[in-house]
Structures are given as C-alpha cells and as structure tokens.
Chain A
Amino acid sequence: MFRFFLKRLGLAALVAMTVSLISFSLLFLAGDPAVALAGEGATEIDIEAIRTRYGFDRPIPMQYLSWLGNALSGDFGESYYFKTPVVHLITEKLPVTMSLGLSAITFAILLAIPLGVAAAVRPNSLIDRFALFISVIGQAMPSFWFGLIMIVVFAVNLGWVPVSGSDSWRHFILPTIVLGYYATPAIMRLTRAGMLEVLRADYIRTARAKGLRPGKVLFKHALRNAVIPVVGLAAVQLGFMLGGSVIIESIFALNGAGFLAFESISRNDFPVVQALILVFSLIYVLLTLLADLLNAWLDPRIRVA
C-alpha cells in the first residue's frame, strides 16, 4: 500500500509540474506580454518600463523558475487588473466554486445511483428506459442552453428562484441542477453496469438462497461492491465540473472562481488566468489521486497493480 501510494504521489507531482509549464507557456505563445499589457498608444519607453516592472526582460526559463518557486510558496503574483495579490482573489472566490461543485456532485449521485440500481434490477423496464432517456438527452443538450432555459422557466416564468447572483443558498439551486445533471449519465451507467455484473455473482445467489430479504441482498451485498468504481468516477466528474463551472457561473453570474476566470480572460489579466488553470488542474490531480487511494483501500485487488 505504501509503495502504491508513493508511486501515485510521484506521478501526481510530475503531472502538476507539466501542467504548470504549459499554463506558464500560454502567456508567451501569443507574443510579447509587455506590449499587450501596455495597451494601444504606449510608447517604447512605457513598454520598456512594464518589461522591467514585471520582469519580462529576463530569459523565459528564468521567469518560469521564479514563477514556479513563488507559486510553490503560494505567491502567484499580482493581478494586472485589481493590483492585488492573485492568491487573495482565488481564496476569496474558490469556496463558492467548491460549494457549487460539491452540491452538484451530491445532486448527481443522489439522482444517478438509485436510478442505476433500479435500471439494473429490472433491465429493459420502464425505469431502465427512463434512465437511458435522461442520459441521452443530457449528452445532446449544451449546458449553457439548458441553464438559460432553466432561468426562463423557473426564475422568470415561475419565479421560484432568483435569476442570478450568489447571495443565498437559493441562488445555488439552478446551477447545482444544471451542473449536476451532466455528471448523472456517466455515474448512472457505471452503477447499472456494476450492479448487473454483481447481481450475477455467486455470492448474491448464495445470499438469496439463504433466504435473506431482497432489500438486504440488494443494498448490503450487491450495491457495496458495485459502487466501488463509482467512487473514482465521481471524483473525476467533480474535477471536470470545476472546469465546467466557467460556463455555468458565467450564465448565473455566480461569483466564484469560474466566473473570475472568465472575466480575467476577457480583461487579459494573465497572472489570474495562469494561476486558475494551475489551481483547477491541481484540484483535479488531487481528486484523482484521492480516488485511486480510496479505490485501493476499498478494493484490495487494485493495490497489486
């Protein structure tokens, strides 16, 4: 277990390093950042001043190393737009995005696992077809459009929830449903497939033959084993959701890290964008690492590999 842990930790660190290199290089792909920052009508002297002020005059590998060194100690530089440290901006907005992500994945799991189990217990039944219908629709409906339709129906026409903003928990209802809906099909299909396989296993037949109550067989014996891969998938989906929060938060004007990312991109505020790409990637890397370890803990067969 310890060796497995070390191996996965090393891989996660290497992935994080590579992502940091890519997110740093993005800034230099599009030409001279000093010229872009100075804006139109800037003189050569202005540009030179900006170059020295932000350290763009140093060799690029040097800039990367100093950026990485600062990032490791939690210093992502200063926002061009707000003139405040990027870390403060991110620590202020990230909780909103994290709560959105967590409530969305909870919503998805609460919807997907019961549906998946029901679909597996009665394959090709009405509920199985309904589950399939939900996932097929979800795959074809763009999230931003679904969000707008939800606003029209539930916020404007019915007036049940506020249209946009992030002041109370009621503002989170629609974004949670929209974001969570997109994680539902994958979790549901995996639950269904896992349950179908487990229900055929010998120990389930044994349990039934012993005369245990069907509910106990289903939830205590079958679901426990079928749900192991779902843990990993849910973690991965949560990671994808944080990326998807850029779109959802922009639609609902939810004041989180995704919205900050979108606004910073529109404002050419690159230190914030770089930092957010890195932070989102790091969270994803951590989540997959956690999922692997959790899987290995739940299912000892994985530890050998």
Chain B
Amino acid sequence: MTSIDNNGRLAGPTPAQLMRRRAFSHFGFLIGGGVLALIILAAIFAPLLTSQDPYAQDLSQRILRPFFMDGGSWDHPLGTDHLGRDYLARLLYGARISLIIGLVTALISGVIGTAMGVCAGYFGGRVDTVVMFLITVRLSMPVVLVALAVVALFGGSLFVVVSVLGLLLWDRFAVVMRSSTMQIRGLDYVTSAQALGCSTPRIIMTEIMPNVLNNLIVIVTLEMAHAIILEAALSFLGLGVQPPLPSWGLMISEGKDMLFFESWLITVPGIALFVLIFAINLLGDGIRDVTAPENRN
C-alpha cells in the first residue's frame, strides 16, 4: 500500500484515512450510527412523518389497536392511547424528549466530570485526593432515590430532570478522564511543552484534551444512554417529565393500567427505548474500536 509519490516521499494512507477505513468496515459502528441517525431524523422531521397531533385527544377513538393486530387500521398505524391520542405521533415526538435529555445531560455531566477528572489526573496530589473523595461520595448516593426526591421538590419539568441528571451522572467521566490523563501526563510531548514554558491551561487544552478525546466520546455515548434510561424510569414513576408530554417512560406508565388486556401499549414505547439505547451503545463500542483499535480485547 505504501508507495513513493512524484516528489519522492513515502505516501501511505494517513491516520485519518485508516480510521475512516476501519469505520466503514465496522459492523456495529455502521448499524448503531445508522439507526441513531434515523431516530434523530425521525425526531426532527416528526411533523412531516405524521399529520397527527400528539396532544389531540379524541375520546371516541380510545385504545384503537395498531395495524399489526386484529382490528387495527392505517388511520392510526400504531393505534391510540387511553385518551385517543395517536400513538405513532406520540412516539415520534417522544423521541425528541429522549434525545434532548441524553444530549444535554451528557453535556452537563461531561463538562463537570471532565474538568474534575483532567485536573485530578494532571495535578495529582491533593487535587487528586479531593476529586477521588467527591467521586466516592457521589457513588455512595443512590441516584434514583436522590433524583426522585429532587424532582418531587422542584417539580417535574424537562429543565429540572436534565439538571438533576446532569449533576448526578458525572462520576464515570471523572473516573475515566482521570486515568486517561494520568497515563499521558508523564509522556515526552507533555514534558517538552512544560519545558517550552507553555501555560498550564494551554498544555491541558492543546496537549492533553486532544489525546483523551477518544475516551471522552465513548463515555458520552454511555452516559447518554444512561440518562435516557433514567429519565424514562423517573417519568414512569411519575416523578420525571409530566403529562401531557409524550415521554416514552410516561407512555409506558400510562399503558401500565391496561397491562392485562392491551400489552402492546407498553411493548411499543419499550421497544422504541430499547432500539435507541441499543443503537447508542453499539455506536459507542464502535467508536472505541475505530479510534483505538489497540484497545480491543
């Protein structure tokens, strides 16, 4: 593959080209990324995919079955819920809530956790001791219980749910960023940047961050998935986002009352959740393999 070009230099595939090649031959990366992209597009273009209003109630059209069951029709492809709202429309608009929760939570917790982890890893000593202590405290607090209590105190808006999850889920960012930073802190290029007299913020931003970015992206996907599951669980228990928002967790909670007769009411949003989380996890594993092939087991 390596050849000599017209200028007499060795020409081979660049690292970026190699990475692209790995990406396009990685099954999980392609499937996960593809499905996630489809869900994001469906969420953005929800009004184009269905003409139904996810909030419009029609009590004469309650609990119509989806098309794949007896008595289903294509007027409401996935049927209607206990208030006669179109289930497909609620599912599509609900994807927006899950995606927003995942992205914003990962952003908040990512900033907090990365800042703590990189500082602990780079400075070591007392800073490290304090950060490790904070991580231990955070891990010993029961996430679901604290999140439920805070939402009960402040009310269940999207903003409160995102904030409380963002403030709780930074532990994995901190742990991973700390150990990644420790691994490269003593390497020659960091030492030489220090010898050149670069300022500490500059070293962290230009020498450390680009080299821990791969690990960071993998944790972002993991925590996105974690946040989406937690939001669904909180909403399911009635202490997450509130009706009439079409959160998938809420849809499962509302369908629960008809568990014995119309179990599709909980299977449909449940499968949607499963597919979304599965796609994000596949993509995350794929990114890890593609960016750092040496870490594969």
Contacts and interface: CB of A to CB of B under 8 A. Distances in A.
Partners in one complex: yes
Interface of A: 11, 14-16, 18-19, 22-23, 26, 29-30, 136, 139-145, 148-149, 151-152, 156, 193, 239, 242-244, 246-247, 250, 261-262, 265-266, 268, 273, 276-277, 280-281, 284-285, 288
Q: Report, nearest first, the 6 A-B pairs whose CB atoms are least far apart.
A: A243-B142, A30-B153, A140-B278, A140-B277, A145-B270, A280-B142
A19 B140 contact: yes
A207 B150 CA distance: 56
A142 B136 contact: no
A18 to B, nearest CB: 5
Taking each of B146, B238, B252, B267, which has the highest tally of chain A beta carbons within 10 Å of its own beta carbon? B146
B281 interface: yes
A285 to B, nearest CB: 5
A281 B263 CA distance: 36
A24 B233 CA distance: 25
Contacts, number: 124
Interface size class, chain B = 35 or more
Contacts of A266: 152, 238-239
A142 B259 contact: no
Contact of A140 (B145, B249, B274): B274
B233 A247 contact: yes
Q: Name the prevailing secondary structure of the A interface residues.
A: helix
Given A19-B141, A26-B146, A144-B236, A136 B278 contact: yes
B260 interface: yes
A79 to B, nearest CB: 15
Contacts of A239: 140
A30 B146 contact: no
A261 B141 CA distance: 14
Contacts of B148: 246, 261-262, 265
Contacts of B145: 243, 246, 261, 265, 273, 276-277, 280
B232 interface: yes
Nearest to A153: B263
Contact of B273 (A22, A29, A142, A262): A142
Contacts of B150: 26, 29
A288 B139 CA distance: 10
Contacts of A136: 278, 281
Contact of A151 (B232, B259, B278): B259
B233 A156 contact: no
Given A18-B137, A239-B140, 4 more contacts: A142-B229, A142-B249, A145-B252, A277-B149
Interface in B141-185: 141-146, 148-150, 152-154
A149 B270 contact: yes
Nearest to B270: A145
A65 to B, nearest CB: 20
